[in-house]
Amino acid sequence: MRVTLFDYGAGNLHSLIKAVDGDGRSVSVEADPVRAIDTDALILPGVGAFGPAAAALAPGREAMREALRAGLPTLGICLGMQLLFDESDEGPGRGLGIVAGRVERLHAARLPQIGWNGLEEAVDPLFAASDLRTAYFANGFACRAADPSCVIAWATHESDRFAAAVRWRNVVGTQFHPEKSSAPGLRFVRAWLSEAAMRATGVGR
């Protein structure tokens, strides 16, 4: 299975590549958003700011959006999850608009939130497969979904309850960093990879 990380200049991708590599998968990093979707599974990594990431996405935004809508298995992590939404208060530019809603600054005195936080109402099978109940976050912004039914896990920072993870068909977004969330986080990534492999081979479509 081919797994591609879309590189929008977010920095060191080493820990994420290490989490994905193995079991016969070929892992590549691609800065061109159109070439990035020529793959079996796509990852939008999770470090950086919305504005520059949206600018890097812009030349292939419609092509990537259509690929995701057509069923390309995709995992958006932290900023990558935010790019699944329409737009962000953090900076200019358009997200993919796969999940309707806006990214807003967390309503909290201590920002950014950095560290471990519990997951609430984690209902997706990926959580059951990984036993992920506490995850590592590094975020000052949070996604506000227009339709909360797409939220598959919640978290609370101070008094602000926000979407910790979302799903739309084959697209999963996590505000937390599963690759930094110890063994359960790595199991979460591998459970997503197993699901993506089934989609790539036509099983369970």
Q: Give the active site residue among 90, 143, 157, 179.
A: 179
| Cis peptide bond prior to 112, omega within 30° of 0 | yes
Q: Give the active site residue among 78, 90, 157, 195.
A: 78
Residue with structure tokens 């560290």? 115
Report which of 91, 95, 75, 86 is spatially closest to residue 144, judged by C-alpha positions: 86
Residue 38 phi/psi, 5-degree rounding, is -85, 75
Active-site residue, 177 included: yes
In whole angstroms, give the CA distance from residue 157 to residue 185. 20
Active-site residue, 62 included: no
Active-site residue, 179 included: yes
Q: Write out the H or E segment, with its range, that includes residue 191.
A: helix 182-200
- Indicate which residues carry an active-site annotation: 78, 177, 179
